[in-house]
Amino acid sequence: MNEEAILKIKKGYLNENFKYFHLKDKKNMKFESHYHDFNKIIIFISGTVNYLIEGKSYKLKPWDIIFVNTNEVHRPIVSPDNQYERIIIWINKKFLNSYNTANTELLTCFKIASEKKHNLLRLDIHNINRLKILLQTLETENNNHDFGSDILRNSVLIQLMVYMNRLFLKNKIDDYEIDVEYDKHIVEIIEYIGNNLNGELSIEKISSTFYINKYYLMHKFKEQTGFTLHNYIQQKRLLYAVSLIRNGAQISTVYLECGFGDYSSFVRAFKKMFELSPKNYYKAIQNL
């Protein structure tokens, strides 16, 4: 079994409840389009940044909050002229779900962001001040190793999630839709791909479905997402396969649910992306 590939999987898999980062950069930074195996929150503090998520570009203002779901393709475009400061929180779904009740689901904000295809939450001054207090407390406890700091850390994060969910549920998207740019066709195509991972998704099929010239489609898709259309579809299918494998699906039939024509082409694509066969991948994640 490929030990290096196993280490990569372990690094990309969030075993902790959450991870908190407060980052400041002032240099020419270029980020590639990427995705994570966990949920992510970005609290933008300063700089000049457009945040691209699944074909939409969000022009950020200080204290905007971005919610990125598992496996959503995203990247920031950062101007080098100003310091880029942000807080990033990686969150383990299992941790949040352990605090759910009959009336409260803490992943609601992420689900709404995914359903509405809108990942931005913009706050007024009152809510910004409340957010700052919670974040300062979380940062203090995150750097604290005194007795009970782990319990307080978790407690503050749960408070933060409850607060952000409340704001998201009251959120009026129309108020700041002007700061979101996207190509309507590309966003519709991304949604179409996500809903048809087990069906035919050839470039010819998509271009005819949306009445778009296939060469223009390929050019525009790469421009908007950072991926070629073929690579995007392939990665989404493989990420879906991984989620099925993790949830106990039979490896011998997963390829059909993910739109691969045959098992051998599925295994080749899987090994190219993860450097392990599906069976060895399943074995590797058993101890995570």
Task: Name every residue whose Cβ is closer than 8 Å to that of residue 149 and which is 6 or more positions away in sequence.
Answer: 141
Q: What is the Cα–Cα distance from 61 to 210, expressed in whole angstroms?
A: 34
Look up the pTM and report it: 0.86
- Residues 112 and 36 placed together within one structural domain of the fold: yes
Long-range (24+ apart) CB contacts under 8 A made by 208-217 are 210/185, 212/185, 217/185, 217/189
How many domains are there within the chain?
2
Residue 110 belongs to domain with CATH number: 2.60.120.280
Q: How many CA atoms lie within 13 A of 257 on its CB side?
A: 14
Find the mean pLDDT for residues 47-68: 94
Domain annotation covers residue 4: no
Domain annotation covers residue 35: yes
- Residues 60 and 142 placed together within one structural domain of the fold: yes
SS3 content of the chain, % helix, strand, coil (to 5): 50, 15, 35
Task: Name every residue whose Cβ is closer than 8 Å to that of residue 207 and which is 6 or more positions away in sequence.
Answer: 213, 214, 217
Tokens of 263: 């098992």
Please tell me the predicted confidence (pLDDT) of residue 6. Answer: 46
What is the per-residue pLDDT across 143-184, written as a single tens digit (0 to 9) for each?
999 999 999 999 999 999 999 999 999 877 655 566 888 899
Residue 39 has pLDDT above 90, yes or no: yes
Q: Which domain holds residue 27?
A: 14-180
What is the per-residue pLDDT across 3-23, written as a single tens digit (0 to 9) for each?
555 445 555 557 789 999 999
Residue 103 has pLDDT above 60, yes or no: yes
Residue 266 belongs to domain with CATH number: 1.10.10.60
Find the mean pLDDT for residues 93-121: 94
Q: What is the Cα–Cα distance from 102 to 123, expressed in whole angstroms?
A: 28
- Residues 79 and 170 placed together within one structural domain of the fold: yes
Instruction: Give the whole-number percent of the chain exceeding pLDDT 70.
Output: 93
Domain annotation covers residue 44: yes
Please tell me the predicted confidence (pLDDT) of residue 285. Answer: 78
Q: Strand (E) positions, the chain? A: 18-25, 39-46, 49-53, 56-59, 65-68, 74-78, 84-91, 120-121, 180-182
Tokens of 138: 């979380």
How many CB atoms neighbour CB 212 within 10 A? 17
Domain final residue, candidates 142, 165, 180: 180
- Residues 141 and 256 placed together within one structural domain of the fold: no
Do 86 and 23 touch, CB atoms closer than 8 A?
yes
- Residues 121 and 35 placed together within one structural domain of the fold: yes
Please tell me the predicted confidence (pLDDT) of residue 33. Answer: 83
Angle at 72 between CA 177 and CA 210, to 5 degrees: 70
What is the per-residue pLDDT across 189-248, written as a single tens digit (0 to 9) for each?
999 999 999 999 999 999 999 999 999 999 999 988 888 999 999 999 999 999 999 888
What is the per-residue pLDDT across 242-286, written as a single tens digit (0 to 9) for each?
999 988 888 888 999 999 988 999 999 999 988 888 998 888 877
- Residues 34 and 173 placed together within one structural domain of the fold: yes
- Residues 141 and 88 placed together within one structural domain of the fold: yes
User: Which pLDDT band holds residue 187 (cuts at 50, 70, 90)?
Assistant: very high
In which residue are the tokens 């649910």 written?
Answer: 257
Do 110 and 71 touch, CB atoms closer than 8 A?
no
Domain annotation covers residue 5: no
Domain annotation covers residue 8: no
- Residues 141 and 79 placed together within one structural domain of the fold: yes
Domain final residue, candidates 180, 215, 230: 180
Please tell me the predicted confidence (pLDDT) of residue 35. Answer: 86
- Residues 102 and 245 placed together within one structural domain of the fold: no
